[in-house]
Amino acid sequence: MPKTIARTALAAAILTMTGVPSMPADAKQPTYSRTYAEDRAEIEDLMARYLFAIDYFDWDSYVETFAPDGELEFASGTSKGRDAIRAAVTSFSSRIGQFYHTEDGKPAKLRHVVLQSSIRVEGNRGWGRTLWVEMANHGPKDTMKMGTYGIYEDEFVKLDGHWFIAKRRVLNEFLKGRESGPTNPVRDMDALAEASKK
Amino acid sequence: MSYAADRAEIEDLMARYLFAMDYHDADAYAGCFTEDGELDWAMGVAKGREAIRAEALSFKAKIGEIFKDSEGRPAKLRHAVCQKAIRIEGDRAWNTGFWWEMTNGGPDGSMMTPSFGIYEDELVREGGHWLFRRRKIYNEFLAGRESGPANPVRAMDAAA
């Protein structure tokens, strides 16, 4: 058993015996604002539009999901501003066909999927941690194959009533050096959201 | 609170639960349950937040035994939730949700999808926060842990 785990277990056991409330302050659930559901619904829509834009090569729509000074960090590097983001993703997209293709060499139909998201909203700022997976028709005999998964670590900003991506980090558990963790990514998101209130 | 507001918070709780689980954050995991919460899963029933925390501390080792990558290291297990049917009545709620899981345990480190199942949950709002009072995890690939055959939403609706 790793030392840290043993220590935590011991600490938990001691707290139980002494009757001190065992819940660490930092493991509490967030307090959500009255408009959380509304903001979350719009942010979820933004994340869906982002993926449709990528998978259908609609780079105008894609860059518009970012704030004008938005930032994208993915395997190819970091780009700031819509023009730089467009240049980075179109270049990446033209190369991806080498890895994702059908048996006769045509570009595969790559589809990204978003699964659960934890989202924090404080005023006009938001943060997200979202699990993603991708699939394409590049399996044997052009069958469906799920290739990789990872998470998005996002910052959102509301400008003139619309939510945009202020910063997106795309992490992929199958790319060396781009893996998420090992700590719970929600912890660092909570720290950012709490710090913004001060 | 409107249904949409409660549902948004409950959906966030479900996501936070899975991040805590998959990144082995036992404190955050136990923090998703009430003090008297109950976790009923493949390896037993844990009652109370402390028991659940202890159970969560053992997840890493238990899961590492079952799910390995092609080189024998513990695989990166990720759980995903898809559709959720959620009922809310005041400070109580019920969820029937579909889950599946993926790992990097396939040949040469490729992706694998070992199993799927459902969650049957009872939730309560305490001190303004939605928490699990009881989560039962069904897995269609484990004998004795399968859901159904009846539509699980019927039982949930009856309870609500």
Considering only CB atoms, A29 lies closest to which of B31, B80, B81, namely B31
Tell whether A103 is covered by a domain: yes
- A-chain CB neighbours of B14 within 8 Å are 116
pLDDT of A84 strictly over 50: yes
pLDDT at A10: 42
Can you tell me the distance from the alpha carbon of A6 to that of A108, in angstroms, rounded to the nearest whole number? 47
Closest-approach residue (CA) in chain A for B109: A174
Burial code of A154-177, b = ≥16 C-beta within 10 A, e = fewer?
Answer: bbbbbeeeebbbbbbbbbbbbeee
Q: Of B160, B89, B91, which Cα lies nearest the Cα of B120?
A: B160
* pLDDT confidence bin for A97, thresholds 50/70/90: confident
Beta strand spans in A105-191 (E): 111-122, 125-136, 145-159, 162-172
- The rounded mean pLDDT for chain A is 89
A142 Rama class: left (phi>0) / alpha (psi -120 to 50) / beta: left
pLDDT of B16 strictly over 50: yes
SS3 of residue B50 by DSSP: helix
The amino acid sitting at A101 is H
Can you tell me the distance from the alpha carbon of A165 to that of A155, in angstroms, rounded to the nearest whole number? 6
Tell whether A11 is covered by a domain: no
Higher pLDDT, A160 or A2: A160
Domain of residue B26, CATH code: 3.10.450.50
pLDDT at A27: 64
Q: Which backbone phi and psi does A73 adopt, to 5 degrees?
A: -120, 120
The burial class, CB within 10 Å (0-12 / 13-18 / 19+), for A144 is: exposed
Domain of residue A179, CATH code: 3.10.450.50
The arithmetic mean of pLDDT across residues A110-121, rounded, is: 98
* Lookup result for tokens 């781009």: A178
Tell whether A130 is covered by a domain: yes
For CA atoms A6, A8, A11, A13, the dihedral sign is: negative
| pLDDT per position as a tens digit, A27-76 | 689 999 999 999 999 999 999 999 999 999 999 999 999 999 999 999 99
Share of chain B above pLDDT 90, in %: 95
Instruction: Say what the ipTM of the complex is.
Output: 0.95
Other C-beta atoms closer than 10 Å to the C-beta of A188 total 13
Residue A74 contacts residue A93 (beta carbons within 8 Å): no
Contacts of A84 (CB under 8 A, 6+ apart): none
The amino acid sitting at A139 is G
| pLDDT per position as a tens digit, B81-140 | 999 999 999 999 999 999 999 999 999 999 999 999 999 999 999 999 999 999 999 999
CB proximity A7 to B under 8 Å: no
Contacts of A1 (CB under 8 A, 6+ apart): A9, B61
* pLDDT confidence bin for A198, thresholds 50/70/90: confident
pLDDT of B12 strictly over 50: yes
For residue A23, what are its two tokens? 């819940």
Measured at the alpha carbon of residue B69, what is the angle toward residues A97 and A154, in degrees to the nearest 5?
Answer: 55
**Which DSSP category does A72 fall into?**
E
Look at strands B129-139 and B33-41 and give their pairing: parallel
Closest-approach residue (CA) in chain B for A2: B61
pLDDT at A8: 45
- A-chain CB neighbours of B129 within 8 Å are 28-29, 31
Distance from CA of A5 to the nearest CA of B (A): 7
The arithmetic mean of pLDDT across residues A147-159, rounded, is: 98
pLDDT of A20 strictly over 50: no
The arithmetic mean of pLDDT across residues A105-128, rounded, is: 96
pLDDT of B66 strictly over 80: yes
Tell whether A97 is covered by a domain: yes
pLDDT at A13: 41
pLDDT at B149: 96
Tell whether A117 is covered by a domain: yes
pLDDT at B95: 98
pLDDT of B61 strictly over 50: yes
pLDDT at A94: 85
Cα-atom radius of gyration of chain B, to the nearest Å? 16
SS3 of residue A12 by DSSP: helix
pLDDT at A16: 40
Look at strands A162-172 and A145-159 and give their pairing: antiparallel
The arithmetic mean of pLDDT across residues A167-172, rounded, is: 98
Structural domain count of chain B: 1
pLDDT of A22 strictly over 50: no
For residue A45, what are its two tokens? 């829509």
- The rounded mean pLDDT for chain B is 96
Structural domain count of chain A: 1
Which domain, by its residues, includes A56? 37-196
Residue B39 contacts residue B46 (beta carbons within 8 Å): yes
CB proximity B141 to A under 8 Å: no
Half-sphere exposure of B10 (CA within 13 A, CB side): 27
The arithmetic mean of pLDDT across residues A108-115, rounded, is: 96
- B-chain CB neighbours of A186 within 8 Å are 15-16, 19-20, 25, 28
The arithmetic mean of pLDDT across residues A162-173, rounded, is: 98
Which domain, by its residues, includes B52? 3-159
* Lookup result for tokens 């990789």: A148
